[in-house]
Amino acid sequence: MGLAAVQATMDRNETGIRTVIGILGARFADRCVLSKAVREQHAHTTTWIENQPPDAVVFPQSTEEVAEIVRACAAHAVPVIAFGTGTSLEGHVNAPAGGICIDMARMNAVVKVNAEDLDCVVQPGITRKQLNDYLRDTGLFFPIDPGADASIGGMAATRASGTNAVRYGTMKDNVLALTAVMPDGTIIKTGTRAKKSSAGYDLTRLLVGSEGTLGVITELTLRLQGIPEAIAGGVCPFPDVESACNAVIMTIQCGIPVARIELADALQVKACNAYSKLDLEETPTLFLEFHGTDAGVKEQSELFAEIARDCGSGAFVWTVKPEERTKLWQARHDAYWACLGLRPGSKCFTTDVCVPISRLAECVGATRADIEESGLIAPIVGHVGDGNFHTSILVDMDDPDEMARVEAFAERLNWRAIEMEGTCTGEHGVGQGKMKYLMREHGAALEVMRTLKMAIDPQNIMNPGKIVPI
């Protein structure tokens, strides 16, 4: 399945869409927006997939208002697409059949912080940075950090993870309970604030990662962590990618509780140096961070340095100074924008895979060789502590030959990860872009997913054209 098939427009319900826009326009007035510019901002904008805007964007302020919108759409079989901040990378917020986009930006409150229980309740529109700014005075923080300042609701919908996942897990590990509006407009609550439960099906985990295809998340109960007493961070250069990956594998296998361990290949380091004004050695490099007590982070840093030396590294330079750590990690978070400077005027096609940690060096090495053989410019960067890495392919979208090489490379990368008992996406999600890989990865289980989708959303109005083909 090529780009044309992925981006194909589904059948539109023109009569239903007109009717629902009339209903919502009367009900929400200036909070129901029809302008082309706003609609296009609420479709896919961050990668190669074509922009497919909704027919209207509505800004609710409560769970009850979301339910009203969904009930109107359900009554007329009109698609519903939930929207957070639009930072997803696989076409999640596109509207291939048109419909109504529900923008959660005005539902961005912290409802409650239960500091004694290390949890909080938030609305979905709050971003991770806003949440952590709010929590700072409590001595707590929310650890999931996908890089972009994504909304918490969007992070749950795509089962996001990011740089801290190697220590703190992903969104599925940190969402205790949800409130969601289902496809018929029913409001449900899944889970409780209890840290564990054996009561019934785990609907929270079903909705986390469902990408808006089963319901609209309107409130989340999150697990929090104490802000560490000490944080140490640093960088360590290696002669080649294989050596860096081997250091990662040994670090994890030795049980060092590293909080972040990120890989940037030589090309990515070059891009970061130019964009973020760094002077790192332009060779494969690991960015690391350790959390704990002063003595603990010192011990962890020294243990890693020993492992790195055994793998042939250069000097591991680490610091506990916040301003120095912040500069390094901001450079890592800006990697996407830094890549664009390697080829001005190009488009960045970013894709990710994840493999068992023991296969990491093999998979990254084979991918680097494949990039070079394909004649592409594509830095590699990744959350390699859990086997997850990304390629950012810089492409001229107007060059059919180059586009064909990019598509072929992306397919080989995804098949390679699946064949190594990994996954076609460690954190980006499926959206439109990765649907074609799910049959090989899941086999007959994909039919079970389709059955669940149709049982919960028989009209296929919840973010249609994503994850499971109907």
DSSP 65-76: HHHHHHHHHHHT
Backbone angles phi, psi at 205, to 5 degrees: -70, -25
Which option is the CATH number for 3-105+451-456: 3.40.50.1360, 3.30.43.10, 1.10.3720.10, 3.60.15.10?
3.30.43.10
The domains spanning 230-336 and 338-442 adopt the same CATH topology: yes
For strand 100-103 and strand 56-58, is the pairing parallel, antiparallel, or unpaired? parallel
CA–CA separation, 436 and 49 (whole Å) = 14
**pTM recorded for the entire structure:** 0.93
CA–CA separation, 449 and 467 (whole Å) = 9
Class of domain 338-442: alpha beta
CA–CA separation, 221 and 268 (whole Å) = 36
Residue given tokens 């604030």 in the structure block: 193
Q: What is the CATH number of domain 110-226?
A: 3.30.465.10
Confidence band (pLDDT; 50, 70, 90) for 5?
Answer: very low
20: Cβ contacts below 8 Å, ≥ 6 apart: 56, 72, 73, 76, 78, 100
Q: Which two tokens stand for residue 165?
A: 């996942």
pLDDT in tens, 70-107: 999 999 999 999 999 999 989 999 999 999 999 999 99
Q: Which two tokens stand for residue 391?
A: 């390629």
Quick check: 163 and 145 in contact, CB under 8 A? Answer: yes
Confidence band (pLDDT; 50, 70, 90) for 9?
Answer: low
DSSP 8-state secondary structure symbol assigned to residue 377: B
Quick check: 94 and 110 in contact, CB under 8 A? Answer: no
Class of domain 230-336: alpha beta
Confidence band (pLDDT; 50, 70, 90) for 8?
Answer: low
Quick check: 417 and 424 in contact, CB under 8 A? Answer: yes
CA–CA separation, 272 and 338 (whole Å) = 6
Per-domain residue ranges for the chain? 3-105+451-456, 110-226, 230-336, 338-442
Burial class for 199, CB neighbours closer than 10 Å (0-12, 13-18, 19+): exposed
pLDDT in tens, 401-433: 999 999 999 999 999 999 999 999 999 999 999
Q: List 60's β-bridge partners, or say none.
A: none
CA–CA separation, 137 and 420 (whole Å) = 44
